[in-house]
């Protein structure tokens, strides 16, 4: 009982100290905030000359109060997005970057085919997921390199130099990616989403909305990847059937066929230079 009372007493003391420190911290914070507000009100050397929304030319943007508020100023094309909003948009794009990398490039087809290859071999964790993802990522950079260079030359560099506006940079940067997706998209998948969107007739690639092209490209990539995976599975299924038939004829029905067939599948894959065949022909499907 004495030990229990001592523990309770210690807990009360600790809580008291925490409460005191919290009060002191809040008091110091509120005092500092009040002093900062008073200094701000008393300061006559303000960097703000004009209020937000009062600019009439592009040069007037430098005189706006755009450093302490989230605002968008636009006046007959002379306005611009504030720094805070630019940061917000940049962080949003960074958060969406993995999704864009996976769904709008060759990454989906590559990663699915590599997983099919590993499952067909029967090696559960060889190569591991980190290696497969790394291979798919570098192959994606290799395949998408012409598209990335075109986006850099036509959109990023001119925009950094101030030769084109933000809207023009987005259009120029999206055009090579749209061309890549359009070339890899099957017509029936494109027609499916055009019908769902209620678009009856399309004369050219430029008339296809991006919201229709992206899901059509994803469906086409999934179909192509599964077709390639089925072709990869065929020789390994034959080996499994031969091994299973041999074990049954020998009366060894209690021995799992996969235990015996896996070394033969690995041997076949190595002798046929399987990684060269699979990855080489997989990359060629994009050209």
Please give the Cα distance from 195 to 187 (Å, whole number): 12
The pLDDT of residue 198 is 84
Please give the Cα distance from 214 to 197 (Å, whole number): 13
The pLDDT of residue 139 is 92
Q: Which helix (H) or strand (E) holds 73?
A: strand 72-73
Both tokens assigned to 54? 């009062």
Both tokens assigned to 208? 């296809």
What does residue 251 show for φ and ψ, rounded to 5 degrees?
75, 15
How do residues 131-167 score in pLDDT, each as one tens digit?
999 999 999 999 989 998 988 888 888 887 778 787 7
For a pLDDT cut of 70, what percent of the chain falls above it?
A: 71
Residue 80 DSSP label: E
Distance from chain centroid for Cα 221: 16
Both tokens assigned to 188? 């029936």
């Amino acid at each position: 009982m004495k030990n229990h009372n001592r523990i309770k007493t210690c807990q009360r003391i600790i809580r008291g100290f925490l409460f005191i420190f919290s009060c002191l911290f809040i008091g110091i914070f509120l005092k500092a905030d009040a002093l900062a507000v008073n200094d701000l009100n008393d300061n006559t050397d303000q960097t703000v000359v004009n209020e937000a929304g009062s600019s009439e030319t592009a040069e007037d943007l430098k005189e706006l109060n755009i450093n302490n508020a989230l605002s968008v100023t636009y006046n007959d094309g002379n306005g611009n997005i504030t720094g805070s909003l630019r940061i917000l948009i940049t962080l949003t794009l960074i958060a969406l970057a993995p999704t864009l990398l996976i769904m709008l490039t060759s990454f989906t087809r590559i990663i699915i085919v590599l997983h099919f290859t590993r499952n067909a071999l029967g090696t559960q964790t060889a190569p591991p997921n980190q290696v497969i993802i790394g291979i798919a990522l570098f192959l994606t950079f290799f395949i998408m390199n012409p598209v990335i260079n075109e986006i850099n030359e036509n959109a990023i560099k001119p925009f950094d130099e101030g030769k084109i506006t933000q809207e023009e940079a987005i259009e120029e940067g999206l055009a090579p990616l749209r061309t890549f997706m359009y070339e890899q998209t099957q017509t029936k998948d494109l027609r499916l989403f055009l019908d769902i969107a209620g678009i009856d007739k399309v004369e050219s690639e430029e008339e296809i909305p991006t919201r229709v092209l992206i899901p059509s490209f994803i469906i086409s990539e999934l179909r192509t990847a599964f077709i390639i995976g089925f072709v990869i599975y065929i020789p390994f299924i034959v080996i499994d059937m031969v091994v299973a038939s041999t074990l049954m004829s020998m009366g060894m029905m209690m021995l799992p066929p996969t235990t015996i067939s896996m070394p033969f599948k690995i041997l076949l894959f190595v002798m046929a230079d399987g990684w060269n065949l699979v990855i080489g022909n997989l990359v060629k499907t994009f050209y």
